[in-house]
């Protein structure tokens, strides 16, 4: 191209979207939401042998307001879901989420009364990692995959997120128990509205989110 001939090797010509995504993908700041066993593998990934710093993602910050990548490592139980959602909402845009391990992705071996069967039912997830727990190499691969995704889809203003207005995971398991057997915790649990007993017919029963707007 004529322009490149004119500018020489010193100056690159690129799109603003590409350069912004390139910057973002190589400086991910993970927020380790480590709850269980996978958290130890997350620590192992950060430690000497596997060294996540090779991929530009070693700056673990424990405050959500400094992070743009949430790694949910370990099972999330019902007492923890409001905490998880609040932390997600506190993270600044643009942000991504890795669901690490079988428990976070699907409940894993814990198909019990208290374990959420996959965080993607209540939270958008970008990359899933299988394994119980995943090896550190798998987590590194997930980071690489996420970098690839950011490079391919990222825009400066984050407009790729604007279109994703529907819940992306599987539907909540509201129909799993017959309605007459359901007991749903009454009251306002950690500022999120909960289902009303006797009003359980699938998706439509979840009326309000954190900000109280109708969906």
**Which span sits near other proteins by CB under 8 A: 7-15, 22-30, 121-129, 139-147?**
121-129
Tokens of 202: 């699938």
Q: Which of 15, 185, 201, 204 binds other proteins (CB under 8 A)?
A: 185
> Shortest gap between Cβ of 26 and other proteins (angstroms)?
22
Report the alpha-carbon distance of residue 101 to residue 132 in Å, rounded.
Answer: 6
Q: Rank residues 23 and 40 by Cβ distance to other proteins and give the closer one.
A: 40
**Which span sits near other proteins by CB under 8 A: 2-10, 15-23, 143-151, 162-170?**
162-170
> What number of other Cβ atoms are within 10 A of residue 5's Cβ?
7
Q: Rank residues 23 and 47 by Cβ distance to other proteins and give the closer one.
A: 47
Q: Which of 189, 198, 201, 204 binds other proteins (CB under 8 A)?
A: 189
Q: Rank residues 7 and 53 by Cβ distance to other proteins and give the closer one.
A: 53
Residue 106 binds other proteins (CB under 8 A): no
Residue 9 binds other proteins (CB under 8 A): no
> Shortest gap between Cβ of 19 and other proteins (angstroms)?
23
């Amino acid at each position: 191209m004529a322009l490149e001939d004119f500018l020489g090797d010193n100056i690159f010509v690129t799109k603003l979207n590409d350069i912004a995504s390139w910057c973002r993908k190589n400086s991910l700041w993970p927020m380790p939401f480590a709850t269980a066993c996978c958290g130890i593998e997350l620590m192992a990934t950060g430690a000497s042998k596997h060294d996540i710093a090779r991929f530009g993602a070693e700056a673990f910050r424990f405050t959500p307001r400094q992070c743009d990548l949430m790694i949910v490592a370990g099972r999330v139980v019902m007492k923890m879901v409001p905490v998880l959602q609040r932390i997600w909402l506190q993270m600044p845009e643009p942000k991504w989420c890795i669901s690490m391990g079988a428990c976070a992705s699907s409940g894993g071996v814990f198909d019990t009364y208290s374990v959420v069967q996959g965080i993607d039912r209540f939270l958008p997830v970008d990359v899933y990692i299988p394994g119980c727990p995943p090896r550190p190499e798998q987590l590194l691969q997930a980071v690489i995959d996420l970098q690839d995704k950011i490079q391919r889809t990222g825009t400066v203003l984050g407009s790729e997120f604007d279109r994703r207005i529907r819940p992306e995971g599987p539907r909540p398991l509201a129909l799993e128990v017959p309605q007459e057997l359901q007991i749903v915790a009454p009251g306002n649990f950690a500022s999120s509205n909960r289902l009303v007993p006797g009003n359980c017919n699938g998706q439509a029963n979840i009326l309000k989110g954190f900000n109280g707007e109708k969906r």
